[in-house]
Amino acid sequence: MALAWSDNPYSWTDAHIIAPFVIGVILIIISIIYEWRIKKDGIANHAVFAHRNTAIALLALFIDGISFFTANNYFAQQFSMFTGKDLLITGLAFGMLFICGGASPVVFGWVSTKLRIVRIPGAISLALIVLFNVLMATVTVSTPEANYWGYMIFAGIGLGGVTPTFMVAAQLTTPPELIALVSGLITIARSVGGVIGLAINNAIFNNTLSSELPDKIGGAATSLGFPKSSLEMLIAAVISQDSAALAEIPGATADIIDAAQAGRLDAYAVAFRNCWIASACFCLPGVIVALFLKDPRTEFKPHIDAPVEVELAEEQKRGKVIQLEDVNDDREDA
């Protein structure tokens, strides 16, 4: 809540931000300490974390969620705003994420199975996500459209490789009776990462725009001789994209309006860049941590850890047969 409200509409010095932020951080720390050191069973069985692969996998999927939600929230907006393309082309460009993300798990899965490794594929997946965020941070208003399409390939391959690779890394080092629990935790970690990352990026985005929009628009207009007395009206009209209001502003010539509009795009470029940088900073430690994964080579085998009990299956089958016979007898009696 604090991150969602930061500079939208309250400043960081406002009690509406400070109070929930501090309380939330304290409660999170207390909860972690309680579940880790005091509560012996905890929300999740502590045996789940007996092997380091599980903790690393949770971190990786948390990071995966942050990056995916960042791309989902900002890529299409930035692409459409900077290239001027319609919704169809914008959707197709963003769709590269899912096209590559649908193919890459097959490749990563084959490599992991063939070589019996998860460490290198996992690190490569996260490194590709970092590369995507870094490349998007370099985007400007004049960046060619083709670059966006190419950058999404890295995102799709990376995001597509993270989930199967780290899911397998955790499952193969988990006791058979806890595999379902681990799978659920890893799936949840992705969503939690996305929610937290989106709140942080929204705070960064709104904070940057609140400071950059007046500076960029005002600087562009005054450099062409626009009077400062009408600057506030111009900034408000450009931000709201109100053409009628722009036409009524004294001294707002076509060149000045064009310069102000360009300043608006420059301000958005800074805001987008800060979000991509933040996402890259979140992802980079994950690459390093992924190198500490342990390859469960002995577990890459056809043996099923949680097989169906033969006797139980036969009893269930006999029970169904008896039940069907009883139903048929009842029908004959009727």
Q: What is the pLDDT of residue 7?
A: 64
d(CA 92, CA 96): 7
Q: What is the pLDDT of residue 17?
A: 81
How confident is the model over 186-219, as pLDDT tens digits? 888 888 888 888 888 988 998 899 889 999 998 9
Q: What number is the average pLDDT over the span 111-119? A: 90
d(CA 173, CA 52): 9
d(CA 239, CA 161): 40
Lowest mean pLDDT among 31-40, 259-268, 308-317: 308-317
d(CA 304, CA 98): 31
Q: Where are the domains of the chain?
A: 1-41
Q: What is the pLDDT of residue 320?
A: 60
The span from the first CA to the last CA of the chain, in angstroms, equals 64
d(CA 208, CA 94): 24
* CA 171 to chain CA mean position, Å: 22
